[in-house]
A and B are shown apart, each in its own frame.
Chain A
Amino acid sequence: MSAPATPDYDLDEEFTTKRSTVQRIQMTLHRYPWLSSLIVLVAVIIVFGLVNERFLLPNTISLMIQQTVIVGTLAIAQTLIILTAGIDLSIGAIMIFGQMLMANFAVYTTASNVLPIAGQNPIIAIILGIMAATAAGAVNGFLIVRFNLPPFIVTLGTWSVFMGLTLILFKARTIQGPEMPETMKFMGDSFPVGPFNFSFGVVTMFVLYLLFAWILKNTAWGTHVYAVGDDPVAAQLTGINTKRVLFSVYLVAGVVMGIAAWITIGRVGSASPNVDPMLNLQTITAVVIGGTSLFGGRGAVIGSLIGAMIVNAVEMGLSLAGVDQAYRTTAIGLLVILAVGVDQWIRKVKQ
C-alpha cells in the first residue's frame, strides 16, 4: 500500500493543536482519573498528620491499611462491574455466602442443625468457597446477559437471595476463630516490614490490584471491558462479543469476592453472617471516590484502592481528632458527592 503523494487537506493541524497549561492539567486528570484521588489522599494524610502526630505513626498506618483490606479487595470486583456500566449490590452477600461456606466446611465439629459437612481439609474448604462465590457471580452475569435485565435489579435480588441462602444453609451461627484450622485464618497473620505491619490479606489485596491493573491495561479482554462499558452498541458493531465480555466480568468478580471471603475470615478472626451490611455501598463509595465513572468505560482499579484508603484515612483522622461517629459518617457522604462533582468537572474536557 503506497501513501498518496500529498493530501490536499489537512486534519493534521487540528490534531496537534497547542493547549494551555491549565488545559493540559485538565487533560492529564481526564486521562488518569485516579490521579485526582491520589492528590486528595496525599492532602488528607498531610492535613491529619499536621493535626495529630499519632496519625502518621507506623502503627496507625499499618492499622489503616489493615482496615481497608475487606472493602479494598471487594472494590476490585465492584470496579470491574462498574467499568461495564453495571453495578453490583450483591457483593457483600456473595462474599458472606462464600465465607460461611468455607468456614462450615472447615469447622472442626458440626453444631446441631448445620449441614453435616464439617471437618474438611481447609484448602478444599477455601477452594469450594471461592467456587461458590464464582458461581454466584456467574448467576448474576447469566441473568443480566441472558435476560437483558438491569444489573441494579438483578443484584438487588441476588443480594437478598444469597443473604437468605446463607441463613438457610448455615443458620445465623458465627463460627469462632478457635473452631477453625489455622489455614482458614492465614490471611490475618501479619509480618513486620520495617516499622510497619502487613497481613497476608493486605499482600494478597495488593497483588490482586497489580494483577487486575495489568490485565485491564494489557489484554484485549481489558480493552473490551472498557469498550463495552463505554458504548455497548459500538462495541458490538466492531465485532466484540459483548455478552461474553459482560458475563466474564461478573464471573471474574465472583472469583475476587471468593478470595475476599477468605481474607475476611483472617481479618475478622471468625466467620459471621453479620459482617457488615454496608459492604456493598462501601465498595461503591471506594470506586466512585477513586475516580471510576458510574456510567462505565472510564476509570482504573488502582483508583478504587486509593478511594478505599481515603475513606479510611478520613475516618481514622477524624476519629483521632475526637470527632463523633455521626459527623464522620456525614463527612464520608459529603466526600462522595464532592468526588462525583470533581469527576464531572474533569470530564468537561471533551469537546
Chain B
Amino acid sequence: MTEPIVKGRNLVKRFGSVTGLNHADFDLYPGEVLAVIGDNGAGKSTLIKCFAGAHTPDEGQMWVEGKEVAFKSTHEAREHGVETVFQTLAVAPALDISANLYLGRELRKPGILGKVFRTLDKKRMRKESGEHLQDLGIMTVQNITQSVETLSGGQRQAVSVARAAAFGSQVIILDEPTAALGVRESAKVLNLIQDLRKRGISVILISHNMPQVFEVADRIHVQRLGQRAAVITPKTHSMNDAVAIMTGALQVPESEQTLGPVNVPA
C-alpha cells in the first residue's frame, strides 16, 4: 500500500483558551488532490499552517515522505518540498514577477561577483522564471519584468502557484485560491491545479466552494471541531453529504470513508 507523502497524527494546536486543532489526523497521498473543507473555525487553516511551517503544533507528530518533521518556519517546510500559496499570496506588489518568484531564495552570479559582491543573477532569474511560467502555460517571457501589482487577481494567483511549483516541490498547499476571483479566473486556477497533478505534484486545496472541490478533488478531508470528521470522495458522497458531515448532521463510519489512496489517473 502507498505511504502518505504528508501525514499528521494527533495534532493539537491551542491559541490561548481557543483550541484550533483537537487531536486531528491528516493523510495526503502522492499525486492526489486532497481538498480540505469545513465550517469556519473547524481548524482547516490551522491544520494546513502546521504543514506549511507557519504554525508549530503543541502536540502530535507530522511526517513528510516518511520522515518525521517539526517545522519552525515556512522556510523549513519548503526545504522538505512543501510549498504553500497563502490566501494573501505573499507577493511584493511593487517587485517584478521574477523578483517575486525568487523572493527569499535569490540566485547570485557565479564567481567573485556573486560571492564577494553578492551580485544577483537577474538574467538567469528572469530566464528561469519565464520557463517556470511557461511550464505551467501561463505567460510569455518578455513580460517577466512587469510588476506584480499590474496583474489581475488570477494572474497573481498564477505567479504564486508558479513560485510554489518552480522549485521542485512535492507538495503544494493552496489556501482558498479562488476566494477572491471571478468565475473565469477561478476556472483558470482549477486548470492550474489539474496541471500540477499531471506533473505528479500532490496538492492540498482548502476551499469553501463545494462545486469546485467536487470538480477537482480526488479525496475530500472534512474538518469539524478541530478534528478529521471524515474523508470522502466525490464518487462516494454527494455535496449534501459533505455539508451534513461539516455540520455534524451526518456521521460516516470508517468503513464507508476513503482513508486510503484512491486510484489517481496518471
**A-to-B contact residues, CB < 8 Å:** 1, 3-4, 6-12, 14-16, 27, 30-31, 218-221, 223-224, 226-227, 230-231, 233-235, 237-240, 297-298, 349-351
Q: Tell me which residues across on chain A come within 8 A of B198, comparing CB atoms.
A: 4
Question: CA of A203 to CA of B143 in the docked complex: distance in angstroms?
Answer: 37
Give chain B residues whose Cβ lies under 8 Å from the Cβ of A224: 103-104
**Does B5 lie at the interface of the complex (its beta carbon under 8 Å from any beta carbon of A)?**
no
B147 touches A31 (CB 8 A): yes
B140 and A15 form a contact (CB under 8 A): yes
B95 and A7 contact, CB distance less than 8 A: no
Kindly identify, within residues 114 to 165 of chain B, every residue whose CB is under 8 Å from any CB belonging to chain A: 117-120, 122, 134-140, 142-143, 146-147, 149-152, 154-155, 158
B residues within 8 Å of A by Cβ?
54, 73-75, 78, 84, 86, 88-95, 99, 103-106, 108, 117-120, 122, 134-140, 142-143, 146-147, 149-152, 154-155, 158, 187-188, 191, 195, 198-199
Which residue of A220, A230, A233, A240 is within 8 Å of B120 (Cβ)?
A: A220
**A12 and B138 in contact, given A223-B103, A237-B54 (Cβ under 8 angstroms):** yes
- Tell me what chain B mostly uses at the interface: helix, strand, loop, or mixed: loop
- Residues of chain B with a CB closer than 8 A to A14's CB: 152, 154-155
Which residues of B are found within 8 Å of A298, using beta-carbon distances?
Answer: 94
**How far, in whole Å, are A12 and B138 apart by their CA atoms in the complex?**
5
- Looking at the assembled complex, report how far the CB atom of B240 sits from the nearest CB atom of chain A, in whole angstroms: 30
Pairwise interchain contact A239-B92, C-beta atoms closer than 8 A: no
Tell which of A3, A10, A220, A231 touches B106, judged by Cβ atoms closer than 8 Å: A220
Select which of B74, B135, B155 is within 8 A of A15 by beta carbon.
B155
Task: For B106, give the chain A residue with the smallest CB separation.
Answer: A220
A218 to B99 Cα, complex, angstroms? 11
Say whether, besides A223-B103, A226-B95, A4 and B137 are in contact (CB < 8 Å). yes
Complex CA distance for A319 and B135, rounded to whole angstroms: 61
Which of chain A's residues have a CB closer than 8 A to the CB of B188?
Answer: 9, 11
Question: A11-B154, A237-B74 are known contacts; what are 8 more A-B pairs with Cβ within 8 Å?
Answer: A1-B199, A9-B191, A11-B188, A31-B147, A230-B95, A234-B88, A235-B90, A238-B74
Contact of A223 among B106, B140, B146, B151 (CB under 8 A): B106
CB-based contact A235/B139 at 8 Å: no
Alpha-carbon distance A238/B77, docked complex (angstroms): 11
Taking a contact as CB atoms closer than 8 A, the residue among A3, A30, A31, A234 that contacts B92 in the complex is A234
Given contacts A4-B199, A234-B92, contact A218 B137 (CB under 8 A): no
Cβ of B10 to closest chain A Cβ, rounded Å? 27
- Cα-based distance from A311 to B162 in the complex (angstroms): 45
Indicate whether A16 sits within 8 Å of B152 (C-beta atoms), given known contacts A220-B120, A237-B74: no
Which of A221, A223, A240, A350 is packed against the most chain B CB atoms within 10 Å?
Answer: A223
